[in-house]
A and B are shown apart, each in its own frame.
Chain A
C-alpha cells in the first residue's frame, strides 16, 4: 500500500443534523462521533429569513451530501423536534431523488 493510501482514514460515514439538534442532543451526537461519523451541520437558517442566501446554503449543503451518496458514503440524518433548517435540506434532497434515513435525535449508531 502506498503511503498516501495508508493515511486515508476517512470513515465515509456522515451524520447530518441541524445546529439546534447538535445543542439539544449532545450526548447522542457524541456517540455518533465516537463511532467515526463525521458531522454535517445545517446552521440556523431562520436567522436569514427572506434572504437569497438561504438557497445558497441549502444548495451547497445538498451538493455536499449528494456527492457523498454518489460516492457510496453512508449518510444518516437525525433531528430534534422543530429543527426547521434540516427540513429545508431534506426537502431539497428528496427533490433530487436522494433518500436519507432520518432518525430521532437520540438514536444511536448501529454497531
Chain B
C-alpha cells in the first residue's frame, strides 16, 4: 500500500519532465526513417503529444495523443519493485534501474508506433495514398498490441524476471 502511494507520488512528480522527454525521443525516432525529417511532436497542455508534419497540410493533423496514458504503468512498476519484501537495498535499486531502462525504451517505441498508426490509419485519403493494406495492418496491430497488452503486462513481466525465484525457491545463481 505504502509502495503504491510512494509510486504514485514519484510518478506525478516526474510526469511533466518525462512527457517532454518522451515526445522529443519519439520525434527523433520517427525522423530516423524520414527523408527529409518532417514529423513534429509537441507537448500541449503538459500531457498531450501533438503530432504534425512540416511538409504538408494534412487533414486530421495535428493529432493529439495523451502521453500520460502511455507511461502510467510506471506506477505499477514502482509499486511492484518497491513493495517486494526482504530485498537488499542495492539489489532492489539495481533491479528497478534495469526495469526502468527497459520501460523507458518501451515507452518511446510505443509513442513511435502511435505516430505511425496515426499516419497509416487515421488521416483518411492521405493514409490510403501513403500506406498499403499490409502497412496499415502492421502499424494498427502493432500499436494495439503495444498499447494494451504489452503496456499493461510489462511491469509484471519485468518484476517476474527479477523476483520469480523468490516464489519458486530456486537459487538466485546458476549452480556450477
Asked if A and B bind, the verdict is no
B residues adjacent to A (C-beta < 8 A): none
| A contact residues vs B (CB 8 Å cutoff) | none
